[in-house]
Structure 1
Amino acid sequence: MNYWELVGKFAEIMDMEDDTAKDCINCLTTIIEDGILRDGKCVVNDFGTFTARERKAGVVYDFHRKKCMPIAPRRVMHFKPGKRFQKKIRGDDWVVNEETRQAALDAALATQKAATEARLKELQEEYNKNRIKYIHFGVSFEDFLREREMEMGIMTSENNSPYIEKSPNN
């Protein structure tokens, strides 16, 4: 919603002319600006808090000029929505129940499984690329996986591999 849509909606709700609605909205924004300039913040109950914050000086890299440039300290605006406004935007679905918790767990497990399968595929390709060397030295694919896992710190013990499937006799 832009400024003119806001003016039109306000005029419709309050049953007034657009010019009068525009003056009301301009008055409201002026009051908010004055409150922020005077007190550093303006609180609108159940909607949110507008604050002015100090941003410290810094240095940024200008890619066009190929050099670092200093940035002066300045004041910036910040808005923190109120609880009622947040609940209205989120809807009632944000409350976690058993179904949503289980769905989140299932999604996390699926993501972890996909990442594990992708890593296993990468390791299989690496092993196959140097297969002659590994076979010559008697290194099986399972031994190769254990070695890579220990290098990456994945395994906590020798029998705890996320990549090697457990057989009944292991």
Structure 2
Amino acid sequence: MDKDLRNRFIEQARAVRQTFGDGEGLHADQAGLSPSVRQMLRESMERHEALTALYNELDRVGVGLILKHWSGNQWALVLPDASEPGKFRYQAFGLHGWITHHTCTTLDEVVSDAFCAGFRMVASPDTLDRVASTVEWKKGCERLEFITRHNCGEISYREMLDQFQNIDAKYASAA
């Protein structure tokens, strides 16, 4: 299955060419194809190239790989899943702290799912260190406790916002 994940966009392009095109191979002349079929082929090939770059880096780095979201303000760290031994996850983070995680059976699945979630580029290995050293990250991590408490029904939304103001005031006075 993992090999299929690595080649899924090539397979998608082949299926597009076979189903909507002229039945020729991927690298045959596209002159007789409709503009929409040529666009679908181009997009599938671009996705394949981008995903291949991520898998090449995964093969080189393994666990610890950091991917960058296309928006430029979120990243995903690839690591073993602490809650489910033997599985893997990507842990998404942004400028204000941890955002979410997604667990998979294999590293290839993690990268594929992260790619589909918009994490399309390899990020610098020091990204987490750089982001986590900022005041915004520290404030976000402190806020996480109150977000969790609110989500569990332990505090009201207003109480959560009051705690956010306390955190902001703490860091403003430290500046």
* TM score, norm. by length of structure 1: 0.23
* TM score, norm. by length of structure 2: 0.23
Higher RCO by CA contacts (8 Å cutoff, separation 6 or greater): 2
